[in-house]
Amino acid sequence: MFLLDHTHDPLIGSWVPGADDHPDFPVQNLPLCIFARGTDIEEPGRAGVRIGDHILDLSAVVAAELIGDPAALAAATAAGRNGSLNDVFALGAAPRQALRHAVHALLREGAPERDTVARMLTPVNDVQFRLPARVGDYTDFYAGIHHARRVGMLFRPDNPLLPNYQWIPVGYHGRASTVHVSDNSVVRPRGQVAGPDGSPSFEPSSRLDFELELGVWLCDSPTPGTVLPIARAAEQVAGYCLLNDWSARDIQSWEYQPLGPFLSKSFATSVSPYVVTPEALAPYRCALTRPAGDPTPLDYLSNDLDLAVGGLDIDLEVEMSTATMRAKDMPVLTLSRSSSKHLYWTVAQLIAHHVAGGCELNAGDLLGTGTISSADETGLGSLLELSRGGQEEIRLPSGETRTFLLDGDEVTIRGRASHPGRAPIGFGECRGRVLPS
C-alpha cells in the first residue's frame, strides 16, 4: 500500500511548463479534483488532475482513448459522473493507482502523446473548483493531543486530558450539508450564548474560530457487521485534503453538555479542492510515536506496520488577513506552523475505531482529524489556543488586535510534504472569509 515506484522518482520531470519547479504540484503529485471552466456557476463540474499550474481534463483523455484498463475504468468513471468523484473512490486502490501511473506517463518528459495532451490542459486561473465528492457523512475527530491538552488546561487545569483520550479516538458526527470547497465565504453563525448570570440569549457568535485539520476522503467500507482489521483500515482511504472545521466557541461552551457540539459546528466546514492520493504521499509516511508511559492501544487499534508508517509528515500553516490589511496591501500574517506528525492517532486507527461498532462507511464520506497543534507555541492550530481562551490579544501588523475572528477576516490553511531528495507534494490551500451574520 505504501510502496514507492517510478512515479515518486524526483529526477523525472514533466513537459508541462512550470511543473518541474512547482512547490506543490509536480508530476509526482497528480491530485484529483472537480472543476469547471470559466465563471459560469451552472457549468457542470468535470474530473481533472492538477499538474503545475494547469488542470488536465480526464474526460478529454477518455475521449481520445489515450489509456487502457484498469486506468481507463477509473478515468471513465470519473468523466462519466458529473461533479463527483464518489464512484472513483468506490473503485478502491488498484484502479486509482493505475490511473496515477497512466496520467504520469502522459505528463512525464518525453511522452509521445505530448501534443495531444497539451490541448487537454486548462490554466488553473481559468477554472473554478467544486466539492470533490458528495459528502454523505462527515465525522470530526479529536486526534491532536497537544490541542486537546492545551484546551483542557483552559477548563480543567488539574486534569486537562479526560481518562478516555489515550485509549479511544474521540470524535463526533458532523454536518455533511455544510461542507464547502475552499474560497466559499463563511457567514457568522447565530446560536444560544450564556450570559454572565448563566441565562442564554440568541445572538451572533462573538468567538468565531478556525481549526487546522487534515481531511480524509473514504472509499466504501466492508459489509456492515464484519470486522475491519487495523492492518487493512488504511485501504479505505481514497485521499487527503486540508480542512478547516470552523467553530463558534461561545455557542459551543453552552450547548456541548451533555451531548457535544451542535450549532457551534454545523454551520461551516471548509476543504481544499484537491484529493491528494495515498500513493502520492508514500514517501512521507512516518511513525507516530507515543510518549513513554502512555497506554498501548487495544488490539483492534494495534498493528506493527501502522505503528511504523501509519503517520504522515506534512507541514501545515495557517495565515490570516483582515479587511484593513488587504486594503493597505499588507502581507498576510502567519499564525501557526504545525505538522501532521503531531497527531496522536493514525488515520487507520480512526477508521478502524469508526467501524468497530458496526458503522458503515460510504465512498465520499469525510473524516476530519481534529485540530493539529504542535507541542510548542509556534504551532497552535486555533485562536482558542493562541488567545488563551480569549484572555490574550494577538497583535496584527496593521495595529489591529484579535482574540477571535471578526467580519472580513480571512483564514488560509496550506499544507506541503517536502524533504531533501524527494519531490514536494502540496495540498494547495483551504481559504475562507468571514461574512456578517
Catalytic residues: 147
Tell the residue number behind the cell numbers 455533511, with chain if given. Answer: 176
Q: Are 76 and 62 in contact (CB under 8 A)?
A: yes
Residue 26's nearest CA partner among 431, 416, 429, 430 is 416
Where does 41-158 show beta strands of DSSP type E? 46-51, 54-57, 121-123, 127-130, 138-141
- For 357, phi and psi rounded to 5 degrees? -90, 0
- The dihedral sign for the CA sequence 267, 269, 270, 273: negative
Rounded Cα distance, 285 and 2, in Å: 8
Adjacent-strand bridge partners of 337: 317
Tell the residue number behind the cell numbers 502520492, with chain if given. Answer: 280
Rounded Cα distance, 214 and 177, in Å: 19
| DSSP-derived secondary structure for 392-413 | SPEEPTTS-EESSB-TT-EEEE
Rounded Cα distance, 104 and 96, in Å: 12
Adjacent-strand bridge partners of 413: 318, 430
| DSSP-derived secondary structure for 328-361 | TTPPPEEEEEEEGGGBSS-HHHHHHHHHHTS---
